[in-house]
């Protein structure tokens, strides 16, 4: 009787233990796929299947390995870094990359760390494109003026590098762009000089038009001017219009024995009127 009791006790224990293991296996075999994610199922080191639809699945736990891949849009921020632009000037540049996983099998099996891989390749593309174009240029592409075009080029270049890991690049945008601190002051002086030259060019072009119209109007009203008078009028008008400070006409004083011609009162009156009309208002 003693041995029989022990035998029945072992049988009951084994049955209870088997039931517990079966229940645990049943619970642990449940696989839940959430929205915007996919699960790669691997059995004993071999790819078995890819679960893409949200829901509850039963896959036996023994020998099973699950790798979850998110297919949501992800943002990758590239930190500020100093690179040389197309002209060799050091610039500080940063960017933001938007991407998503489109091939979960490649993401899970063909790459160790998809997020880190995309970040490394994006940083390489950013430096490569930044060194290809100047920071700013009067003609042609530049990092400052052609951000959209350069962004599209970076998307294409990065996409060619991350196809192997099943990732789609949606956007590649510059988030920061400036000259490096060591040359920022020098570049500011250069920009100010360029702006001053441009302003002077506009003033000179306008002055030439004003002088030309003034001579045409004088001739139309019957006031003929000789070549020397026209030259003197052009010189005086350009001086009055292009000068930064208020112009003060001067009058030559001739002695009685001086054989030079007397000053042209009409010319001086015209210059005084132009001086008053072109003096900036306080």
Q: What is the pLDDT of residue 185?
A: 63
Distance CA 61, CA 22 (A): 11
Distance CA 135, CA 90 (A): 9
Express as a percent the part of the chain with pLDDT over 90. Answer: 29
The residues, any chain, with a CB within 8 Å of residue 125's CB and separated by 6 or more, are 154, 157, 158, 161, 172
To the nearest whole number, what is the mean pLDDT of the chain?
79
Q: What is the pLDDT of residue 205?
A: 80
The pTM for the full model equals: 0.61
Sequence spans of domains, the chain: 29-70, 74-179, 201-253+260-278
Express as a percent the part of the chain with pLDDT over 70. Answer: 75
169 pLDDT band, cuts 50/70/90, is very high
Angle, CA 272 vertex, CA 267 and CA 276 arms, to 5°: 150
Q: What is the pLDDT of residue 192?
A: 67
Hey, what are 242's tokens? Answer: 């292009």
Could you tell me the fold of the domain covering 74-179? Tetrahydropterin Synthase; Chain A (3.30.479)
pLDDT digits (tens, 9 = 90+) for 20-41: 887 887 788 888 999 999 999 9
- Of residues 152 and 229, the one with the higher pLDDT is 152
Q: Is the pLDDT of residue 267 over 80?
A: no
Q: Is the pLDDT of residue 16 over 70?
A: yes
Q: Is the pLDDT of residue 218 over 70?
A: yes
99 pLDDT band, cuts 50/70/90, is very high
Distance CA 211, CA 222 (A): 17
């Amino acid at each position: 009787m003693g041995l029989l009791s022990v035998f029945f006790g072992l049988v009951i224990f084994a049955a209870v233990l088997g039931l517990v293991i079966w229940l645990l296996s049943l619970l642990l075999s449940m696989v839940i796929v959430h929205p915007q994610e996919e699960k790669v199922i691997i059995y004993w080191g071999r790819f078995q299947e890819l679960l893409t639809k949200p829901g509850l699945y039963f896959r036996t736990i023994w020998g099973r390995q699950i790798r979850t891949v998110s297919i949501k849009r992800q943002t990758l921020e590239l930190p500020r870094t100093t690179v040389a632009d197309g002209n060799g000037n050091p610039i500080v540049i940063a960017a933001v990359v938007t991407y998503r996983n489109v091939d979960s099998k490649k993401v899970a099996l063909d790459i160790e760390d998809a997020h880190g891989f995309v970040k490394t390749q994006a940083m390489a593309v950013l430096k490569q494109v930044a060194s290809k174009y100047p920071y700013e240029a009067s003609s042609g592409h530049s990092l400052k003026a052609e951000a959209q075009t350069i962004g599209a080029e970076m998307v294409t270049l990065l996409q060619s590098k991350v196809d192997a890991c099943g990732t789609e690049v949606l956007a590649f945008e510059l988030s920061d762009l400036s000259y490096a601190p060591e040359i920022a002051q020098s570049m500011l002086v250069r920009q100010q000089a360029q702006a001053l030259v441009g302003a002077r060019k506009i003033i000179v072009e306008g002055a030439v038009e004003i002088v030309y119209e003034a001579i045409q109007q004088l001739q139309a009203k019957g006031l003929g001017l000789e070549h020397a008078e026209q030259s003197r009028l052009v010189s005086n008008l350009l001086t009055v219009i292009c000068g930064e400070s208020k112009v003060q006409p001067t009058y030559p004083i001739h002695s009685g024995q001086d054989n030079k011609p007397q000053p042209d009162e009409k010319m001086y009156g015209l210059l005084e009127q132009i001086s008053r009309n072109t003096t900036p208002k306080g």
